[in-house]
Amino acid sequence: MQVSVEKTSELSIKMTVTVPATVVQQKMAARLQSLASKVKVDGFRPGKVPAQVVKKLYGDKIRAEISEELFKSTYPEALAKEAIRPVDYPLIEFLNDPEGITYTASVEVYPEIILDALDQMEVIRPVATVQDSDVDTMIEKLRIMRQTLQLTDRPAQEGDRVSISFSATCDDNGLSTGRIDKDEKGNDFGVFIGAKQMIPGFEDNLIGLKTGDNKTFPLVFPENYNNADFAGKAAQFEVDVIKVEEPSPLPEIDDEFVKAYGLEGSTVDSFREDVKATMERELEQALNEQFKAAVLGSVYKTVPLPLPNVLIEQEIENLAKPYLDNAKKQKLNMEEFKLPRDIFEETARTRVTLSLILREIIEKQNIQLDDTKVRTVVERMAQSFERPEEVVEYYYADEKRLNDIRQMVLEEQTVEWLAARANISDETLSFSEIMDKQQR
């Protein structure tokens, strides 16, 4: 077998493989002899059909079968011989070779990954602790969550929930739009004044209105409004107030309040300790995730790679799949529902790059999965549930679920290897800064 390789682009090659005529002839002869003993041809007794007749009748078919078989057996050998790592199945073309068999295999290959620059990585590590003031803020949020709403006849004010029906009309170069965001079933649309859930200025116009009131006022839609027909345009709003509700007084932090969170027998002090412990677990997880993201972000910048197109396209398909599946569930017209490729491309490139680099590190550094860490991660995840032992059993009862955790742990071990070689500087942030960043 002869093999030659031509580089057709940065990550594409054309490999030409030639199988000698002697190999092909031996296989042809054996196949023809076997067929001659079985084939029936008019004018000849069974088993007595001359080889040249069988060849004339079936030679092309047999040669095509042998060509396919030889490709399947020689292609992996040729790849190994030339140390080629293909990304996908090749494009095969059989060339005209009267005696032997010659084919070309065109395929994209994986890039060469050089890890030397990883020692120069710069990584900023976020650092934070849970302060007493953070616990106070969290408990205040829990108090607000326990508030109830009650109808009021007074004019609406900051903090009230106003149920409305409304419309917006704008006229811009002849463009006129009708009512928007109005529930035709008659259910109200609730707005908390001061929550900034509506466009700027809208909630301010609700202050002072009472049940049954109607108000018309002008506003300008933001430039980045999600409806292009309204974005950046002046509009006339009309609001009908269905009802006004005021929040009840904030509950006291007492034994009854603690019981409402399922902590029977706990005291206010122990409740505070439980809240702090939960916040510390959430903070630790957020810090780990953000540090991991910082390390991987630095890896991405430090080790630029040319990427095979086929891997990018596959990852774009993976990223788009949830949106397409959701569209199908909503029975949308799939021919009209087309997602622009470019909204996924940057994320796809990042994922493919990091996947290739991490795999290279794991192979070159022989990083072995630590089963003890797998158990620790599963048990840590289980802490958030009422019966942690059942959650642990849930993961260990199914190999697929457990493999997802194993893959995550192996990636974390690789990040640890990277972090040990990086130049790390700490950045102290507050609990809220870390958690706000986590939610974005």
Q: Tell me if 178 sits within 8 A of 202, measured CB to CB.
A: no
Residue 337's pLDDT is 72
Q: What is the 3-state secondary structure (H, E, C) of 185-197?
A: CCCCEEEECCCCC
pTM for the predicted model, two decimal places: 0.73
Length of the chain: 440
- Using CA atoms, how far apart are residues 414 and 292, in angstroms rounded to an integer? 10
DSSP 100: S
pLDDT tens-place string over residues 162-221 = 999 888 888 654 444 444 444 433 357 899 999 888 999 999 999 999 999 999 999 998
- Using CA atoms, how far apart are residues 36 and 32, in angstroms rounded to an integer? 6
Query: Which class for 361: exposed (0-12), middle (13-18), buried (19 or more C-beta within 10 A)?
Result: buried
Q: How far does CA 305 lie from the centroid of its chain?
A: 21
Give 348's contacts (C-beta < 8 A, 6+ positions apart). Answer: 312, 315, 316, 319
- Using CA atoms, how far apart are residues 242 and 258, in angstroms rounded to an integer? 35
Residue 179's pLDDT is 42
Residue 33's pLDDT is 78
Residue 182's pLDDT is 47
For the beta carbon of residue 11, count every other beta carbon within 10 angstroms: 20
- Using CA atoms, how far apart are residues 410 and 368, in angstroms rounded to an integer? 8
- Using CA atoms, how far apart are residues 240 and 213, in angstroms rounded to an integer? 6
Residue 187's pLDDT is 52
Q: Which residues of the chain carry a pLDDT beneath 70? A: 42, 45-48, 171-187, 263-265, 334-336, 440
Give 177's contacts (C-beta < 8 A, 6+ positions apart). Answer: 168, 169, 170, 229, 230
